[in-house]
Structure 1
Amino acid sequence: MNGSPKDRKLTFDQCWELLASSVVGRLALIVNGHPEIFPVNFVLERRTIVFRTAAGTKLWESTKQEPAAFEIDGYEPTTEEAWSVVARGATALIEDPDEQSAADALGLEPWEPGTKSHYVRLSPEALTGRRFKVNAPDVWNTRSYDQRRASFE
């Protein structure tokens, strides 16, 4: 990853730890030749990312033989550091009821109302991440809801 000298690459295990501590990420799929981003809640099951969805674009595009990406990020006010993790790989439907039950046992349940009866697994072929120090906010000019302000207030 190219970046400032303050960027620190995360190890493979650090990336998995951050994924395990998160519940929402963004799934990037190619739709009609261009990228689309879908927020999804997820669980980690056997070193893969699993989410549920209803019939529609996200489901149909997840069944194609196109590469996909998944991204999470966060900010830690106590250390004034942000982090980002990106997984790239293939997606596939989970049709085995035992595998679906394994994901459900980890707390995978839809956040959005409606039936989300389709299970999708993203199997990372690449997993990268970085952690970096963020600029201190100008407390007088920074938006009141900027997460960076928490370390100053």
Structure 2
Amino acid sequence: MTDEPITILSQDESWDRLASVTLGRLVTCIAGQPEIFPVNFVVQERTVLFRTAEGSKLFGAVASSHVAFEADHYNVTEGWSVIVKGRCRMLATSAEIEKADRAPLQPWIPTLKLHYVRVMPTEITGRHFEFGPEPDRLSSFA
């Protein structure tokens, strides 16, 4: 890291950070309106994999031409955020599903999540933040 409060992460650093957490947010567009859904997920071969049931999350994921996925983590001194942009694809073949079944991905709540969805990335960006007090406004304009 540097002395700057914001550091741009490399793609490798972004994937590593993303793989270190299990909760993220999927952003889709349904009927022209943005929707955001919290999902538990895993990173598998530089894609984001999650499970879902029938409903607006599944519809929004596969019907949207573009989605965004964000995950982050923080403590009292620092934090980071990673955003993946791409398309979602519902897994359909037995080979895809068998591969997804090997991922350590279980529903958080006791409901059936029969559909695997994979975010196929076109872009990943990440930032690391060093927290601290706001600089003096008057000295910033000197």
Structure-2 separation of matches of 1:103 and 1:15 = 22
**Among candidates 120, 123, 126, match of residue 117 of structure 2:** 120
What's the CA shift string for 1:83-109, capped at 9, x where partnerless? 100000000110122222222212111
The answer to whether the Cα contact below 8 Å between 1:43 and 1:103 also exists between their aligned partners in 2 is no
The answer to whether the Cα contact below 8 Å between 1:15 and 1:85 also exists between their aligned partners in 2 is yes
Runs (5+) with no aligned partner, structure 2 = 134-142
Structure-2 separation of matches of 1:17 and 1:133 = 18
**Among candidates 97, 101, 109, match of residue 106 of structure 2:** 109
The CA RMSD measured in Å over matched residues stands at 1.4
1:63 maps to which residue? 62
Structure-2 separation of matches of 1:99 and 1:7 = 38
Q: 1:65 to 1:27 in 2, by over 3 A?
A: closer
Structure-1 separation of matches of 2:31 and 2:65 = 11
SS in 1 for 2:63: coil
**Among candidates 81, 84, 89, match of residue 87 of structure 1:** 84
Q: Which runs of 4+ in 1 moved over 6 A?
A: none
TM-superposed deviation, 1:65: 4.4
Work out the percentage of aligned pairs sharing the same amino acid.
Answer: 42
